Amino acid sequence: MIDNYDLDLRSMQEARRLAIAAKEAQREFFHATQAEVDRIVEAMAQAAYENAEYLGRLAHEETGFGAPLHKKVKNEFAARRVWESIKDVKTVGLIREDQANKILEFAWPVGVIAGLTPSTNPTSTVIFKVLIAVKARNGIVIAPHPSAKESSLETLRIMAQAGEAAGMPPGLISCMTNVTLPGTQELMKHWAVDMILATGGAGMVKAAHSVGKPAIGVGPGNAPVWVDRSADVKKAAWDIVNSKAFDCSVICATEQSVIADRPIAAELRAEMEKNGAYWLDSSQKEAIAQLLFKPNGAINARAVGKTPQVLAKMAGIDVPAWARILVADLDKVGPEEPLSREKLTTVLGFYVEEDWHKGCERAIQLIKFGGEGHSMVVHARDEEVIRAFGAEKPVFRLSINTWGTLGAIGGTTNLTPSMTLAPGGLGGAVLADNISVHHVMNMKRVAYETAPPPPEATTLAPGVEPKPGQTATPSPAPTPAGDVDIEAIVRRVLQELGVNS
């Protein structure tokens, strides 16, 4: 007990120290030029990319989740694709000039971010959060999941070394080493922290939103996939099995339940089996359900991110060595059917419905049972069906004819590349976007007068007398000889303030 108590105190003190160091470094970094910022962020992205395989292996060894090479893919995505998506974004000084409306827009950093990261995707999430934070001239302190502390810390170390070699102030990015709940809470509440960026379980995200500071959080996903009679069934089956098997299903946008259109259901099942889907019988289904979920519906963390063979051994059943995912036939949604919940492991539900209207209803049931605002997948070639699902489903990203895992994060689609998928108000978040640099940067607007105040606005309040000689309207401003050179004014003001543009 004493040791735990001491660890809490060390964690809280470390949180304070790192937050203050990040604030001091961020104040220095505020004056960096765009070229300096980009050089630093590119160096960190390159270092993370070059170490993607090493970090993926570390994450797997430490957490026991997923597959090392799949984690390498996610690390490469977080380093290369995220950098490519933000490298041309202006984040310093004047970034937009609207001559027609006489408005100037200046980028302004948020300050210091507390970056809470999960055990399921630890290294890739650290890479992603560091890149978007520093690109916007913020500091960031990573609060990793305790079970992924070492791999998260090593990721941060590699990126900090590269960033500081490129000119980044020491302390701008850091990672907690003494990880406890009181320490993470102290970090989130600390005066030097300006924003919380939380990726992880529902409890952690709820805690982040309750601190009283600006917070961007994710929500749980229970993503259904509708396979329409108009779909390319062979491709749909290949996509679903590979996506569900990818890193043993620890990305929250992965497919959780298939809803098959009845005319193609048998063909879809046969094609999925060809790709490595093993159908559970009733007794096996019951054993897996008991393994995956506790009586209160909470997921068993020991079963997260495991192969079918590991799950089978844990559940006391036999499955073939070729099984890449386990599939259970379902006909209900709710607490009485545990496998209709989000399953962050290689287990998939399978429903059959008469048509897309019934499929739509089933999808909404599944989404409302644990994934509102998050994600869904549709396999169809009928544009009417695609648009109907897009209009009616209570989610903010639909991936069409692709993997749920890589589609929602922007790996196989043109959605913004991100490792934090916000679910909007439906999922308890303030945003409904794939989070990126724009969300961790404030915008300052300078607006010139374009219309005089209405005459009524200048009338005197009752009982107030006009001052002798007071004029009803101001003297007209002199008309400039030509267009105002706003850019020259901005340069002069920035020079006077000592700010590099």
Distance CA 145, CA 186 (A): 15
Residue tagged active-site, from 175, 248, 252, 360: 252
User: Is 252 labeled as catalytic in the residue annotation?
Assistant: yes
Cα distance between residue 314 and residue 291, in whole Å: 7
Q: Helix, strand, or coil here: 422? A: coil
* SS3 assignment, position 481: coil
91, 431, 357, 374: which is closest to 224 by C-alpha? 374
Task: Please state, in angstroms and rounded to a whole number, the distance separating the CA atoms of residues 444 and 485.
Answer: 19
- Per-residue exposure over 213-236, b if at least 16 CB sit within 10 Å of its own CB, e if not: ebbbbbbbbbbbbbbbbbbebeeb
Burial profile 461-495: b = 16 or more Cβ within 10 angstroms, e = fewer: eeeeeeeeeeeeeeeeeeeeeeeeebeeebeeeee
Strands 103-109 and 94-98, bridge-based pairing: antiparallel
Q: Taking the alpha carbons of 313, 319, 323, 325 in that order, is the dihedral positive or negative? A: negative
Q: Rounded to an integer, what distance in angstroms lies between the CA atom of residue 112 and that of residue 94?
A: 21
Residue that has been written with the tokens 């000592």 in this structure: 498
List residues with catalytic annotation.
Answer: 252
